[in-house]
Amino acid sequence: MNKPGFQPSLKGRALRLLSQREHSRVELERKLAPHEEVPGELAKALDELQARDFINDGRAIDSVVHRRSGKLGAARVKQELAAKGLSGEAVALALEGLRETELDRAWGVWRKKFGRPAQDANARAKQIRFLLTRGFNAEVVRKVVQGAEDDL
């Protein structure tokens, strides 16, 4: 139990955050900056953790893709990765893999939410909006909604 007035170190705070889920370095910097008392202290702590492979942007990318790809399209996953300060070649590779499975994942999300073709134009528009806000490509959304209606 923490003593009154006890403040964990920046490294301790970072490890607590990392024990909950993978974080990118940028994300940790953003979360821990308000707790930095001495300039440069945060960078030093994060450098140490990164050198010991506690902070690994590749693992953070894999974690986001794994957790979110079942419910979201590539565009939304890309947006979440960017919000975490992740970009570059590893993100491009992960997104390329997502785009290859986008149609199957969109079908799965559509089936779970709706399960049957739209009965009218309003219902069709609702299904389209739902899939688009989930980050699925417009062409994929069109195929899913149109394909469901063709199966009638």
Q: How far apart are CA 22 and CA 11, in angstroms?
A: 15
Q: What is the pLDDT along the chain (152 residues), one digit of tens a residue?
A: 455 667 789 999 999 999 999 999 999 999 999 999 989 999 999 999 999 999 999 999 999 999 999 999 999 999 999 999 998 898 999 999 999 999 999 999 999 999 999 999 999 999 999 999 999 999 999 999 998 766 54
Q: pTM to 2 decimals?
A: 0.83
Three-state SS for 7? coil
Q: How far apart are CA 13 and CA 84, in angstroms?
A: 18
Q: Do you know the residue count of the chain? A: 152
Q: Nearest CA to 110 among 124, 91, 97, 89?
A: 124
